[in-house]
Structure 1
Amino acid sequence: MRRQKGLWGAVMAGALALGAWLVLTLGMLWSTLEPHEQAQVAELVAPRIALLFMAWVLAAIAWWAFWQHVHRRHIGAPQRLAEQVRGMLGGASSKRLAVQGEAGMAALAAAINALADQREALRGDVAAQIEQASQGVQQEKSRLAALMAELTQSVVVCNLDGRILLYNNRARLQFRALSQAPTLAGGAELVGIGRSIYAVFDRELVAHALERIQERRARGASHPSAQFITTTRSGQLLKVQMAPVGQVGSDDAQAPLAGFVLMLDNVTRHFEDEAQRDQALQALTDGSRSALANIQAAVDMLGFDDLEPTMRERFLAVVRDEVRTLTTRLNDSTQRAAEGLKTRWPMEEMLAADFVVAAQRRIEAHCGFKVVVDEVEAGLWLRVDSFILLQALAYLSQRLRDEFALPFVALRVAAAGGRAQLDLIWNGSAMSTETVMSWEMDPMRLGAEHLPLSVRDVLDRHSGEMWFERDRARAQAFFRFLLPQASAQDGAEQVALAQLESRPEYYDFDLFSVRGIASDLDDVPLTELTYTVFDTETTGLNPSGGDEIIQIGATRIVNGKLLRQESFEQLVHPGRAIPAASIPIHGITDDMVRDQPAITAVLPAFHAFAQDTVLVAHNAAFDMKFLQLLERRTGLSFRQPVLDTLLLSAVAQPSQDSHRLEAIAERFDITVLGRHTALGDALVTAEVLLRLLPLLQQQGIHTLRQAREAAEKTYYARLKY
């Protein structure tokens, strides 16, 4: 607000000068009059002194209007132009200057635009040459992104401080399962570029694994690694394999490490299965020991020649009963062991609808007739070896075509008592039980291809069954397969994985060179800080008067990059009705928040998401007031530093007429999407912050302390809620 102070100072100085000139003129005129003339003038002027004062006031107002016009046209306009040029120079905006005002300013703006166009053209040429020269690097980068995206194992790369540099889709899904609030933060409070892996793993455990790797490197091991199993805070059991990452460009095996790679495997279910098998084995052992003891005692008694017939029959009955019990127990254990082996066979979780489409293509390609999809239950997941099961369906379809000259077959899938029921249907002809058994037991043949497996082998591999049925009402016959369903957890994991982007943007190898940031963030350069940029939508504008948060949205900036995929967005039930007057602004209705969690459930997840970062908001005093009022209710406080893009804009561009978010975005040529949604405003605010940082550096503001001190001196810093 230095510009406003200077304007008012000039206006006041001019008004005082005008008054002084008026007083001096009257004094000079008074000195030329004779005493009797002075008396006459005083008698005439005294009743009209108010008119002289009013004339001075009107002259001062005219002076103010004139000076404001002159200042805006000849002083303010060049200042605004200079700020816009600095924005273009620092890369904050690519928007061209508006050519307006007097001829000289318009010509200057046009010349600056021409220079900017020339610079953009040169930059484009340089970028094209750089892109052409770095095509090989980009290709390798794309291959790495594709490889990491499609890996079925969770992979996380960290620097030596435990800051995450890279993670793949599977790791993102894995951390979501480990989250204590998976439906709110989705694991985003645990995994993210620049976040600490120690939010999941004990620091000492990781340090011990690194020491073991260093010892193996010192002994000359070419590929040292370490493994450990740990329990997460959410109670999951993780098996972790750690491998070192050496310094870039160093072939020395003893050179210091740059970081480490973690390959994660959730073994909770496997561990539970093993525990169940151990318990079953222990029960079998204990039960068999008792049965064998009883049998041995009975056999010993049967060895006596003088044993009475009734006693002999009693001991024989004991032997028969114990043998029967032991046989039953062994059969049950064998069946459970077989089920365990089958579940460990490398099956895949597949949506039934996708499997039917694949079967339709495979049968049509092999048999040359139409395949109709009769009915597929939505949301049904299968756990199958899809390749060999498709081969079996194609084989049976081929035999049906050869035997009965069918024009088409149909497929139908539905759930049936915890299993999946797959039907291969045709119209008309039936067949004998002997034919069905023959087709089931014969080795499969598809054209000239001979397969070593039979349909029975395929069924055994899936622990399934198949039989022949007729539907006389519809004049149909069909083979019915009973197949295993995927568990609800497996299906959910596959859906979540399918919804993730196949090419991740969440990696930043520049963080290899970043070591631990000092705990005193005030002295850290602005470009090295990690930011959580957030926004809230509320029931109204009076946090102290009972208004509540109805939505929180946030995103992260790490290493000067906006990580759009690492975001937080959640509707909140406010515990009160949303005023009708506020609904047109944010578009959130009572129906939208009716089934949403309360702020006491949402705020802990957001608190974890924003941990160890600098908070950023536009008009942050408003949002922070809501968070501060929630401290007593939730027990959570946000003690990290806060930056306000409203204040920073006033620091970087003080001559601009408006510092509203829309006005700043327009100056910086930022596309505004989802205005007045919490996440949409947070993303725009993050873009604004990235544009403001170079402008602040031009003014000598490089650290967080300098930015906060400059912001506190602005006029807008006096806003309170």
Structure 2
Amino acid sequence: MKHMRKLLLAAAAIALFLLAVVVATALLMLASEADASGSGRTAEERIVVLLVLLLVACAISFWVTYRLHELYVSAPLRMAEELAAAVAHSGLRLGEYAAGELQVLGKVGNQLLSLREAHEKDVAERVREARASLEEERSRLAALMADLSQSVVVCNLDGRVLLYNQRAKQELSTAADGSNAELLGLGRSIYTVFDRALIGHALERLQQASRDGSDGDSKKLVGSAQFVTATRSGRLLRAHMSPVLGEDGPHHARVGGLSITGFVLVLEDVTSTNERHARRDVLIQSLVEGGRGPLGSIRAAGEMLSDFPDMPSQQRDRFLRVIRDEAGVLTAQFEKTASAFSNDLRERWLLEEILGAELLAVAARRIGERRSSERRALAVKTENVDEELWLRVDSFGLLQALHYLALRLQDEYEVREVRLSLTRSGQLAQFDLSWLGTFMNNETAMSWLQDPMTTGGEASPLSVTDVIERCNGDIWFQRERVSHRAFFRTMLPAAEAPKDLPRAIVAAPEGERPEFYDFDIFLWSAVSHELDDRLLTELSYTIFDTETTGLQPSEGDEIIQIGATRIVNRRLLRQECFDQLVDPRRSLSPQSVAIHGITPELLVGQPYIDAVLPKFHAFCADTVLVGHNAAFDMRFLQMKEKQTGLRFEQALLDTLLLSAVLHPNQTTHRLEAIAERLGVSVFGRHTALGDAIVTGEVFLKMLPLLAEMGIKTLRQAREASQRTYHARLKY
């Protein structure tokens, strides 16, 4: 196409030259004839007329050439670009053109595109039906992962995360200062969280165990590894690593008869357990050290009394006082130790921490359920509930015990209403099940507490007392004759409120459900590839944008907002985003506020840039940066290198430059224009996160178009971008 354009321009130049020669010759002939007839024109007048006619002829020739170029050179090139975009992305159509031949060609092209789109819709419908069951399994997996109490992370052999749950994100993305550092995400390296050498050692042990245990059965799962590590926030985790087996592949490790494609990490937070054990060791040690003196004194006094039975009474009384005093000291020390660590010393059953008010609400609902059509439901009321009180109990057993006692009251004493209360009493929680007007004797109440529980026709080997003792508590029956109230009172150890409560998982709108996994990452490997030689479709990206106080970073303008999202395995992960306002420590111009809508009031109390950039640097670690007119944004980041000590040295791609590579004949490469050409809906413009999402959608549309041009690797994309005119702009 370039050669055709050059030939056309050369032909036009030759035509102009020949036309000028012909016109000049004709004018000279006319001038000679005029001289012969005696018209009387001077030579100067003839030259002026000659030049005017020559300029008019040149202008007409240039206009004709320009129109021909627009109609039959530029227009076909634009049509080719539009056709390439329409072929890559359904729903796009060719525009209108002035040349009649191109109009006919455009109609035929649109008809072919419509036919192709109809076939694609038919294929898409069949694919949708085939994937319906897979989507159902995916939803089940997401629900299962969300409800797990343990952290689960699945990685390929390169340490790329391909599955995680919210518990893992909460525990592993916490920085040393307690803030969210966004360290965990699909396609990101687990080595940003854990030490590479530690994971490598555990993986080596896993492979060694697989070699030792392999017996020729390639499908038999053998080997596992365990280790303990600490997170950046100081939490202590026990990790259980298991292999993920699969078919042989280029990025799999062959061990004996097994092909290992990755590994699963099941993480358990043992910080509190380790702290309890440490406290227990300290108390036991102090008890041993503190008891040696009193025991030695008691032993010495006892030996003296035994060896000298005829000693004077005054001396005997002195030794007896020593024994009594030292025994008292020893008893006080034992009581102090038992009181300080009673919960841990008595705990024999795995208990769960639960908010007392939540347990009370569940108990009230279960007791109040209608038992049958013949017997009405038992009324339940709650009173004096401490909303901040936490318990460490066997919640199922405790609910079963309360239900059992309430039903026996209804069956044997026709109690119609019971009341539940929960209050704090020192270091204990007081849990009362009370009722009015009906008394029982202590022997009956004791038998209820000691008998095996039977509810709904199902018998349990445990009694109420067994359940309460399992929870390290105590229960008894008590009456208040003045108020005509009786109750079963349960005293339970109060627990401290958990420091890191799991964040609630909010249901996303339909079509925007968070992604929990991407198993295609199993196929990734960086072992034999440099980043520049990796395919664009294999890389993970951070799409980012900034809003600023102005357009002159070198003259003091500052960043006021950073927004970013990520692309992994050619999918835009909207749930893994970064969106932060920044206090610029300077005023905002009315012109900038009119563009982005961020007022000075919104920036009050926001963190400064030196606190935001480290978090953003961690968010985009191990990815390729992508932006629109990214040189502008990068200049602002580079201006902060000395202040923060951070350098953004990641590879960078610019959708503005890539648009110039794909569509060199288009007159504009603004983000809105590119989005319109590629069929991307524009929303949230002039907010950092909104622009980043639109840029991400545009970039995904560009990838197949770049591949058709032979631009498939990061190196090829960067080199093609650098050859464009827009790459020469500086900020």
Query: Which bin holds the TM-score, normalised by the shorter protein?
Result: 0.7 to 0.9
The 1-side partners of 2:33 and 2:388 are apart by: 106
The 2-side partners of 1:524 and 1:292 are apart by: 74
Change (3 A) 1:302 1:546: same
- How far 1:638 moved relative to its partner? 1.0
2:338, 2:345 within 8 Å by CA — same for their partners in 1?
Answer: no
The aligned residue for residue 183 of structure 1 is 179
Q: Which residue of 512, 515, 538 corresponds with 1:505?
A: 515
Aligned partner letter, 1:705: R
Answering whether residue 96 of structure 2 is matched by residue 88 of structure 1, we say no
Gaps of 5+ in 2: 215-220
The aligned residue for residue 35 of structure 2 is 34
The aligned residue for residue 650 of structure 2 is 640
* Residues 675-705 of structure 1, C-alpha deviations (whole Å, 9 max, x = no match): 2222222122111111111111212222222
Q: Which moved more, 1:288-297 or 1:194-203?
A: 194-203
1:534 partner SS: strand
Answering whether residue 493 of structure 2 is matched by residue 489 of structure 1, we say no
Change (3 A) 1:334 1:377: closer
2:368 partner SS: helix
Q: Which residue of 112, 119, 123 corresponds with 2:120?
A: 123
The aligned residue for residue 709 of structure 1 is 719
2:12, 2:65 within 8 Å by CA — same for their partners in 1?
Answer: no
The 2-side partners of 1:648 and 1:470 are apart by: 83
The aligned residue for residue 322 of structure 1 is 326
1:404, 1:429 within 8 Å by CA — same for their partners in 2?
Answer: no
Change (3 A) 1:150 1:503: farther
Answering whether residue 168 of structure 2 is matched by residue 171 of structure 1, we say yes
* Residues 397-454 of structure 1, C-alpha deviations (whole Å, 9 max, x = no match): 435545775655565667776766666576x648689599658735455454454545
1:583, 1:589 within 8 Å by CA — same for their partners in 2?
Answer: yes
Q: Which residue of 275, 300, 325 corresponds with 2:303?
A: 300
1:515 partner SS: coil
Change (3 A) 1:281 1:63: farther
Q: Which residue of 211, 236, 260 corresponds with 1:218?
A: 211
Answering whether residue 109 of structure 2 is matched by residue 112 of structure 1, we say yes
1:173, 1:497 within 8 Å by CA — same for their partners in 2?
Answer: no
* Residues 322-345 of structure 1, C-alpha deviations (whole Å, 9 max, x = no match): 212222333444455641155673
Q: Which moved more, 1:612-621 or 1:105-114?
A: 105-114
Change (3 A) 1:364 1:199: same
The aligned residue for residue 621 of structure 1 is 631
Change (3 A) 1:245 1:655: same
Aligned partner letter, 1:84: E
Q: Which residue of 180, 194, 201 corresponds with 1:201?
A: 194
The 2-side partners of 1:549 and 1:236 are apart by: 34
Q: Which moved more, 1:249-258 or 1:286-295?
A: 249-258
2:378, 2:416 within 8 Å by CA — same for their partners in 1?
Answer: yes
Change (3 A) 1:495 1:170: closer
Answering whether residue 367 of structure 2 is matched by residue 363 of structure 1, we say yes
Change (3 A) 1:699 1:498: closer
2:543, 2:565 within 8 Å by CA — same for their partners in 1?
Answer: yes
Gaps of 5+ in 1: none
Change (3 A) 1:94 1:644: same
Change (3 A) 1:319 1:516: same
1:320 partner SS: helix
- How far 1:471 moved relative to its partner? 13
The 2-side partners of 1:309 and 1:500 are apart by: 86
The 2-side partners of 1:477 and 1:44 are apart by: 130
Change (3 A) 1:266 1:111: same
The 2-side partners of 1:434 and 1:329 are apart by: 36
The 2-side partners of 1:413 and 1:673 are apart by: 51
Q: Which moved more, 1:539-548 or 1:22-31?
A: 22-31
Q: TM-score, normalised by structure 1?
A: 0.84
1:209 partner SS: helix
The 2-side partners of 1:26 and 1:414 are apart by: 115
Change (3 A) 1:120 1:288: same
Change (3 A) 1:31 1:67: same
Percent of aligned positions with the same letter in both sequences? 47
1:11, 1:67 within 8 Å by CA — same for their partners in 2?
Answer: no
Q: TM-score, normalised by structure 2?
A: 0.83
The 1-side partners of 2:529 and 2:160 are apart by: 15
2:206, 2:225 within 8 Å by CA — same for their partners in 1?
Answer: yes
1:649 partner SS: helix
The aligned residue for residue 349 of structure 2 is 345
1:442, 1:454 within 8 Å by CA — same for their partners in 2?
Answer: yes
1:11, 1:64 within 8 Å by CA — same for their partners in 2?
Answer: no
2:155, 2:162 within 8 Å by CA — same for their partners in 1?
Answer: yes
- How far 1:279 moved relative to its partner? 1.0
1:315 partner SS: helix
The aligned residue for residue 313 of structure 1 is 317
1:517, 1:524 within 8 Å by CA — same for their partners in 2?
Answer: no
- How far 1:628 moved relative to its partner? 0.5
Question: What is the CA RMSD across the aligned residues, in angstroms?
Answer: 4.3
- How far 1:284 moved relative to its partner? 1.2
1:23-422 alignment to 2 at 5 Å? 26-27=27-28, 29-30=30-31, 32=33, 34=35, 40-42=41-43, 44=45, 71-91=69-89, 93-98=90-95, 104-130=101-127, 144-177=141-174, 179-180=175-176, 183-185=179-181, 188-189=182-183, 191-221=184-214, 223-248=222-247, 253-303=256-306, 304-335=308-339, 338-340=342-344, 345-351=349-355, 354-365=358-369, 366=371, 368-371=377-380, 382-399=391-408, 401=410, 408-409=417-418
2:543 partner SS: strand
1:146, 1:503 within 8 Å by CA — same for their partners in 2?
Answer: no
1:184, 1:570 within 8 Å by CA — same for their partners in 2?
Answer: no
1:439, 1:455 within 8 Å by CA — same for their partners in 2?
Answer: no
Aligned residues: 709
Aligned partner letter, 2:82: Q
* Residues 471-518 of structure 1, C-alpha deviations (whole Å, 9 max, x = no match): 999x9987776655664435x432356789998624233332322166
2:162 partner SS: strand
* Residues 647-670 of structure 1, C-alpha deviations (whole Å, 9 max, x = no match): 101111223343222222222222
